[in-house]
Amino acid sequence: MTGFAWLGVLVGASAGLMTWGLRRYALARSLMDIPNARSSHSVPTPRGGGVAIVLSFLCAVFALTITARAEPGGSWAILGAGALVAVVGFVDDHRHLAARWRLLAHFVAAAWVLAWLGGAPPLDWFGASVELGWFGATIAAVYLVWLLNLYNFMDGIDGIASVEAISVCAGGAVLYGFVGRADLMAEPLLLAAAVVGFLVWNFPPAKIFMGDAGSGFLGIVLGTLSLQAAAVSPALLWSWLILLGVFIVDATWTLLRRLIRGERVYEAHRSHAYQRASRRWGGHLPVTLSVGAINIFWLLPIALCVGAGLLDGVVAIAIAYAPLLAAAIALGAGKTDISPR
């Protein structure tokens, strides 16, 4: 195997071993996720395993950075923002942090990313490259914070956040190879490797949960990777948004429905489309596997068409998201959940 392949194996193995250690630590310290009326699980389960993803991936990125094997702006953006979000999530996993302080830290992380990337990338709008200046930077910061938080919202059943990250990162790496930028494939592939190591313990039925440290970290890193891709080619932002479609559509539609009813959006609930689907289909595994299948067989081909210039990004988003939105509506995403667990 090549040196990079060995690095990927090392990252995956390290994440798996660290997850095992974190599970033992959580059991010893009674750091358990206890089921309640808003939960999608029925058995007390250790939490905080996402720290293994954070440590294994950040160590790999740091190694690539100091050996000049990764683009420095994107790498330092990931290292700083990822570490900050993970620390905030870790603290919140152990002792509750007020939402305003979490949100402040999230915007600081977003500002760090944009500073290292040189601001928001140009927007590809029906074939024209549009520079949005400070307005674009503001929108990009909101996008990063929203992606970070929606990833937390969507980490509610066994394996779903892991499978999403693996399939999106693999799709992103394929995109880079497709457009002739194989030099940028390392970071998404290494993140996928780290999550694979964790998924060994998180696959349904999960033996440990990711926790806020892991889910928030994945959200900010995936957002950073998408902006980094847009800096290479503005059309690639649409491709990454397509790859992230399952999570974006479900979380955004559910949030809008809850906001319209005046509900507190940070309160735990079970009204996401994926949560309703897991109850309808009698378990987590069918939903988690379906998300992976949708990403690979529906969203990735559309994303590749955008990367190849065969589809306009705006048109492609509409095509990709339409059935996802229809499914979310059909499943009752965002409706008040009054059914028993």
Does the residue 275 lie in any domain?
no
Largest CA distance in the chain: 57
Does the residue 236 lie in any domain?
yes
Instruction: Over range 18-38, report the average pLDDT.
Output: 84
Does the residue 122 lie in any domain?
yes
Instruction: Over range 249-271, report the average pLDDT.
Output: 88
Does the residue 51 lie in any domain?
yes
Q: Which domain holds residue 123?
A: 3-245
Assign 32 a pLDDT band (cuts: 50, 70, 90). confident
Instruction: Over range 318-322, report the average pLDDT.
Output: 98
Percent of the chain exceeding pLDDT 70 equals: 96
For residue 98, give every residue at least 6 positions away whose Cβ sits within 8 Å of its Cβ, in sequence order, or none: none
Query: Mean pLDDT, the chain, as a whole number?
Result: 92
pLDDT given at position 341: 35
Does the residue 172 lie in any domain?
yes
Does the residue 336 lie in any domain?
no
Measure the CA–CA gap between 174 and 204, rounded to whole angstroms.
27
Does the residue 21 lie in any domain?
yes
Does the residue 329 lie in any domain?
no
What is the total count of domains within the chain? Answer: 1
Cα distances (angstroms) measured from residue 62 to each of 66, 172, 190, 232, 258: 6, 20, 12, 21, 40
Assign 310 a pLDDT band (cuts: 50, 70, 90). very high
Instruction: Over range 148-169, report the average pLDDT.
Output: 96
